[in-house]
Amino acid sequence: MLLGGLFHETHTFLRQPTRIADFEDSALHVGQDIIDRNLGNASPMDGFLSYALARGWNIIPTIHMAAMPGGMVERAAVSLFRLTFFPILEARIDELDGIFLILHGAMVSEGSDDPEGELLREISHYLQMRGVHIPVVGVLDLHANVSQAMIDNSSALVAYRENPHNDARDTAVRAARLFEALMDDPRVAQVHLATRFVLPPTGVGTADDPMRAVLAAARAIEARDPEILNINVMAGYAYADVPDCGFSLSAATRGDPARAAAYLEDLKAVLVANIAKGYPRESLLDDVLRQVDALPPGRGPVLLVEPADNIGGGTPGDATDILGPLLATGRRGIVAVLADPEAVAECVAAGLGATVSLSVGGKTDEHHGAPIPLTGRVRNLTDGAFELENKKSHLASMLGSHAEMGPSAVLETDQALILLTSRKMPPMDLGQLHSQGIRPEDAEYVIVKAAVSHRDAYWPIMRATFNVDSAGLCTSNLGRLPYRKLTDKVIARP
Ligand SMILES: [Zn+2]
């Protein structure tokens, strides 16, 4: 079978595009390298490879590209995928028994609102033209913005069910099992139900409603109807200004597609009944700090969650709109992380132990606060590489188990330990801080640039958590974003 991967969550309001170099930073593997570089790394690609190799399947690897969430994907990146993938498809078409793809489902590229749909359509046309009938199966992220073209041109798409995504690798194994079943018996139909609801990332954790209720109802349908092979509950990704943005449902069935479609209507009703919880409220920092001061004493840090600069949602990771005001209150025991290659370079130039005065953060664009002046001691300098402490971390869905922040520095001030990184890295695994000599367990406050994906790492060590409303393009207040293509969508609590 033919194997490929094209994985990106695209934030269309960011100015900086996602380039081929950004894929090279995370994963850009061709041919045998896909197997050599991913087997055993806890990623979805590893999940498929492990399953396939255990069964002795003949894998024809093409190209696998994955980059951190970020701005519009440049045309050349999609072209690179196509120009590698299709010649191999053409050359090996006669020996294929299936095509398996690791996708994300919320990619947008220059010139296309739906690159995954177009890719699947092209594959489907090619197979039809050659009279080849083989299953085409893809893995999707739970945050996929699914189009009808993606459904119509695949045999089955299989999405994660957990957010944080601790089941990304397991989902690829589940998809591989379904792929195997379809190679034995290709009868399958897919149905899709788009909705008008565009939910902010903070509203789609799977421990909470509405996701919890809809997922539970989906599992109950699968359990009672053996003809249903899989149901996807896809939260969507709010920061893609494309017509297919938003919450959707899909099912793969051996039975009557009309019955499967009726199930999806039932699931949509569960969503609607719980919809208000999908738009959680956030408080401003002043109000949050009043609540913190009223907390009973306890162990562990207070998490000041900064969804507006949710790195796993694509923003630059250098927003200062919480850190600056928090420092101004005079509070101590603060841990924060900022992506700021300039500041790292200044720390490196000054050397370990030196005292430096820097201007940190707020440098990427005008949406994420202003640089703040800091004076402190350079406490640690590293190459920024770390291994995940939790192999089921959300981060493994994007990167596998090895992460690289690039040259990194820890700046120690009277009030704070600030980890400065060269590349942005979402706070999904405690290995990020522990590897740099920072123990968030001992902090008073940790500023966490995430919406939901940090929870498996940080909730076990925290005293309390607050989502803070601040400036940034991953704001939970979607009404602040200049959407143009979301006609007729619901972006706030109805
Ligand atoms: Zn996701």
463-488 tens-digit pLDDT: 999 999 999 999 999 999 999 999 89
- Whose tokens are 């009808």? That residue is 148
- Whose tokens are 């033919």? That residue is 2
Task: Report yes or no: 219 and 178 within 8 Å, Cβ to Cβ.
Answer: no
Task: Report yes or no: 404 and 429 within 8 Å, Cβ to Cβ.
Answer: no
CA of 65 to the centre of ligand 1 (A): 16
CA of 209 to the centre of ligand 1 (A): 17
207-217 pLDDT per residue, tens? 999 999 999 99
> Given this model, what pLDDT does residue 255 score?
98
CA of 1 to the centre of ligand 1 (A): 26
Q: Domain boundaries in the chain?
A: 2-278, 285-475
Give the separation between CA 494 and CA 484, rounded to whole angstroms.
Answer: 20
C-alpha distance across the termini of the chain, in Å: 46
CA of 165 to the centre of ligand 1 (A): 7
Residues less than 5 Å from ion ligand 1, measured at CB: 141, 143
CA of 277 to the centre of ligand 1 (A): 19
Cβ-count burial 374-409 (b if 16+ within 10 Å, e if not): bebebbbbbebebebebbbbbbbbbbbbebbbbbbb
CA of 292 to the centre of ligand 1 (A): 30
Give the separation between CA 423 and CA 1, rounded to whole angstroms.
Answer: 35
> Given this model, what pLDDT does residue 117 score?
98
- For all residues of the chain together, what is the average pLDDT? 97
CA of 2 to the centre of ligand 1 (A): 25
| Cα dihedral across residues 336, 341, 342, 344: positive or negative | positive
Return the structure tokens found at 56.
């002795």
CA of 201 to the centre of ligand 1 (A): 9
CA of 198 to the centre of ligand 1 (A): 15
Could you list the beta-strand ranges (E) of 385-442.
Answer: 385-387, 402-404, 408-412, 416-421
Peptide bond into 164 cis (omega under 30): yes
Low-confidence ranges of the chain (pLDDT < 70): none
Return the structure tokens found at 66.
């994955």
> Given this model, what pLDDT does residue 494 score?
87
CA of 143 to the centre of ligand 1 (A): 5
CA of 182 to the centre of ligand 1 (A): 26
Task: Report yes or no: 470 and 322 within 8 Å, Cβ to Cβ.
Answer: yes
CA of 451 to the centre of ligand 1 (A): 11
Q: What does residue 447 show for φ and ψ, rounded to 5 degrees?
A: -85, 120
> Given this model, what pLDDT does residue 89 score?
98
CA of 290 to the centre of ligand 1 (A): 32
Strand 302-305 with 408-412, pairing: unpaired
Q: Which helix (H) or strand (E) holds 86?
A: helix 75-92
Q: Which of 301, 304, 290, 295 is nearest to 468 (CA)?
A: 304
| Cα dihedral across residues 28, 29, 35, 37: positive or negative | negative
Q: What does residue 100 show for φ and ψ, rounded to 5 degrees?
A: -125, 130
Task: Report yes or no: 472 and 311 within 8 Å, Cβ to Cβ.
Answer: no
CA of 454 to the centre of ligand 1 (A): 12
> Given this model, what pLDDT does residue 312 score?
96
